[in-house]
Structure 1
């Protein structure tokens, strides 16, 4: 009876206590990994630098054309009675049409805004990747724990079988079958250990640290009672769609800039001419200063008309791209919601199966008290319980993996 109590106690730990979890602790651990990945990821650093470069271009366009300076010296002076100039110098500054510089700044700012959305997308994708690897580690380690506990139960059954052999209630074959089953479960644990190393290395790579660094992931999760899934309207806040809005805005500002640049440019300058002394000059001022005004008019403006047509086509292209991407995201959201609901159904079904398997095991234990235990039935029940437990773990992993996808799409 002492061995029976041990079995019942172990089964209680295995089937009832396994799914208890402090969800706050889980979330904090996962968030820690995400934060570390955000801080160390070269991908995030790359897109962040691209955003800073795009932002700096706002300052680049906030400038006037180069000021033009000219200087000329009379190298060979002909003999003439009239006064000769020694040298001349001039300066000219061209100014774009009113509002052109502001239009350039607005266009550069819109491109920087579009690049910032790329930073947001990269961060969300990185967080999703970390979460997916994390849940794979959960699945592996949860299965390892279940297998180890099942091996411990089989060892207890093995001791029972040995005792039964001594009193003639079982055969040595029953003992060997129990030992073979233990070997099979140990093999599964070893395989999972290798899988754990691979996923752990992948997660370490995402966090940009040593591939063999140990990761302390949880081994127990449970599906919450209620789902907080939102409607498809929430897709409108996804950065992948907001990116197209920013691109559309940048094209509109590009067209405004195109209209401004198709206008004339005005230049203001001054020219100074230095002359030799001459009796012909009676004024006190022998040198000349000439203010100058220049006007640059784009008479042949096919370039700007073509740019306008290109911008119109570009806007239509962006609208089509956004609609296409929205359809893809809707399909992904529908798939993720469906898979998460399937996971819940699977989890609840396996919970019922486990309860029934426990009832069947309890009957076998009572039969042992009357001396009619069948260890073949024990192995069958144990295999069923292990199958149900593994299915539950897979269902939990699928639920949270799809929840991460949903979170990426609509949060």
Structure 2
């Protein structure tokens, strides 16, 4: 059970190590508790556990009652009825092998349960970062609206002294209108993303989803062994499936062994009245032992062949899934590194745009300012800020995916 606990715990710890946010781990814990998909997998796991008790049983006991309509006469009297009981028994060790086979299926269902939790944890983390980005972008757009408001005041002052045109003011106002429309679009995106996030959590809460105020890409990544995929539950599942087929074959060979049974017949006998022989009216008790031998056992040979082919299929499926996970890991690392490059590039661009803004403001102090340049710089600055936030989202989404792939 310690291994199972570690696997489940890593679902939370892996993501919180990346997110640096207290709320995310709480949302992941919530989805593991409330999401109906996880609940369905948990129930499947519980059903598989219960089936262990199902296989730990013997075949039904057979009872029989017969009444002689025409009573056969014997030396000691007439037989009146027949009562019988019979119990078939599997060959020695069959029940324990059934339990081992079912235990292997339980382990497979457990890994399906773990995989479902990890996938939902990944979905929650990525939805969380999406919400963060939308809200952060909305704040940036609002800051730019306020920036343009200050520029408009400068333009109005310049118009009063005939150093600017009313057209410049109108251009600034039109740009403000565009940004306000962009804010409304971002709000619609936030509402839709929040609904999706709450549906994943399976919560009817009316409150707003809380995300961190700011996220930044760390200077250096935490060192993790991102090349080892062998502990990923998606691959461990194939090992457990292979083991279940192995146990199925052991059970199949055991089922091919003879089966035996024990029973008892009881026949009540009426006493004779015309004569009195020894043991007159003595009832008949007849213990029985039976053996069932599978002489025509082509069925079991066919099942053995099917199990062999099934194991080969699982080997092929595992190899294919491993290649897929390797491709996902390589792609995630590439996207993560690209996000870092984009983040640093936009950071440099933003600094240069701010320098250009200061130059424009100094030009206003000397009596000249080109508001077309103001709009160009503002537009570039906003573009760089939005791209930087998108880079942060991409970085953390890919980091969450890498954790999903590599964390035990």
TM-score for the superposition, normalised by structure 2: 0.91
Aligned pair 1:114/2:147, yes or no? no
For 1:10-409, list aligned pairs within 5 A.
Answer: 27-77=21-71, 83-210=77-204, 213-228=207-222, 230-278=224-272, 279=275, 281-283=277-279, 286-409=282-405
CA gap 1:78/1:261 in 2 versus in 1, 3 angstroms: closer
CA gap 1:101/1:287 in 2 versus in 1, 3 angstroms: same
- Per-residue Cα deviation, 1:264-288 (whole angstroms, up to 9, x for no partner): 0111222222211134531388122
SS at 1:235 equivalent? coil
CA gap 1:80/1:269 in 2 versus in 1, 3 angstroms: closer
Unaligned segments of structure 2, at least 5 residues: 1-16
Aligned-partner Cα distance in 2 for 1:232–1:177? 51
Does the 8 Å contact 1:26/1:218 carry over to 2? Answer: no
Deviation at residue 82 of structure 1 after TM alignment = 5.5
Does the 8 Å contact 1:139/1:219 carry over to 2? Answer: no
- Per-residue Cα deviation, 1:80-111 (whole angstroms, up to 9, x for no partner): 76522122222221111111000101111111
TM-score for the superposition, normalised by structure 1: 0.90
Does the 8 Å contact 1:201/1:212 carry over to 2? Answer: no
Could you tell which deviates more after superposition, 122-131 or 244-253? 122-131
SS at 1:236 equivalent? coil
Question: Which structure 1 residue ranges, 4+ long, deviate > 6 Å from structure 2?
Answer: none
Could you tell which deviates more after superposition, 26-35 or 335-344? 26-35
Aligned-partner Cα distance in 2 for 1:352–1:306? 69
Unaligned segments of structure 1, at least 5 residues: 1-22
Equivalenced residue count is 390
Aligned-partner Cα distance in 2 for 1:82–1:221? 99
Deviation at residue 399 of structure 1 after TM alignment = 0.4
Deviation at residue 213 of structure 1 after TM alignment = 4.8
CA gap 1:80/1:54 in 2 versus in 1, 3 angstroms: closer
